[in-house]
Amino acid sequence: MAIPLVSGDVAHGVVSLSDRADGQPFDRSDLRTARVLAASAALAVSGAAMAARAEEYRRITSIDPLTGLGNRRALATRMDEELERARRYAQDVTLLMMDLDGFKGINDSLGHVVGDAALRYVAQVLQQSVRKFDVCARYGGDEFAVLLPGSDAARAIQTAERIRRRVDVHPGMRRAAAGLHLTVSIGVATGGRGVGSAELLMEADRALYEAKGAGGNCIRLAAAEAAC
């Protein structure tokens, strides 16, 4: 017997049965039983396929297509998870907010191709400068974020400084565009014990604008002294 696995108007496959245990030929009763089992199997296969598609859509919608980093939605989800974990285990969580200094001028003078290359370069620097379980995201435009679970302010500033120096050197970008000087400003905020994601974002963003106001290529720690 050959029984198609069909759900709706989609055929997922065929189940073939042979050699009854008693050596007799299949009869209509066997066919009815096999069809019931095939219908259940088709529903299971269809459900698994739908779940796989949903997961793929979720993954696609959480990735920034230009840089390959997580996007703002992905960052928000992980922030909620990590802040909840930090509250539960009395740990710190630190957020770095950063953007490229004078990025509009790069686009205006050198073109969007160079601007896109600069964004991809910064994304590469971020991934190479943090731990595997840290979260790097493109927050929007030329603004990036890095979530550092379990990191206090001192350790986070070390990470921020490593990022700032590597962006400032950018040998690959200088080869791509003569005269380009790429720098980044970074705001640092630490929370986790009773701090919500909105508050952490606001503090890191405020620190970022303090760094921009200080001339750029600089780090500022929220509610603390500057680190440049």
Query: 157-178 b/e with 16+ CB inside 10 Å = b?
Result: bebbeebbebbeebeebeeebe
**Is the per-residue pLDDT at 171 higher than 90?**
no
Q: CA-CA distance, 92 to 28, in Å (whole number)?
A: 67
* Residues ≥6 apart with Cβ < 8 Å to 195: 83, 93
pLDDT tier at 210, thresholds 50, 70, 90: very high
Whole-number pLDDT of residue 193: 65
Check if the beta carbon of residue 186 is closer than 8 Å to that of residue 164.
yes
Q: Using alpha carbons, list the distances in angstroms from residue 79 to 84, 85, 178, 182.
A: 8, 10, 38, 28
Domains of the chain (ranges; CATH) run 2-61 (no CATH), 72-221 (3.30.70.270)
pLDDT of residue 178: 61
- Report yes or no: 170 and 190 within 8 Å, Cβ to Cβ: no
Write out pLDDT tens, residues 41-97.
888 888 887 777 766 666 667 899 999 999 999 999 999 999 999 888 888 999 999
Helix axes 112-129, 103-110, angle to 10 degrees: 140
- Residue 179: the pLDDT is 65
150 contacts: CB under 8 Å, gap ≥ 6: 86, 91, 92, 93
- Of 6-15, 41-50, 166-175, 190-199, the range with the lowest mean pLDDT is 166-175
Instruction: Quote the strand ranges of the chain, DSSP E.
Output: 2-7, 10-16, 93-100, 135-140, 143-149, 184-191, 219-221
Q: pLDDT class for 224, splitting at 50, 70, 90?
A: very low
Burial of 45 from C-beta contacts in 10 A (0-12 / 13-18 / 19+): middle
- The pLDDT confidence band at residue 7, using thresholds 50, 70 and 90, is confident
CB 137 within 8 A of CB 145: yes
**What mean pLDDT is predicted for residues 88-109?**
91
What is the predicted pLDDT for the residue at 228?
A: 41
Residue 126 has pLDDT above 80, yes or no: yes
The arithmetic mean of pLDDT across residues 102-126, rounded, is 90
Reading the block at residue 16, the tokens are 């073939």
Q: What percent of the chain has pLDDT over 90?
A: 52
Q: Is the pLDDT of residue 226 over 50?
A: no
> Please, what is the end-to-end C-alpha distance for the chain in angstroms?
76
Q: E strand or H helix at 174, and its extent?
A: helix 171-176
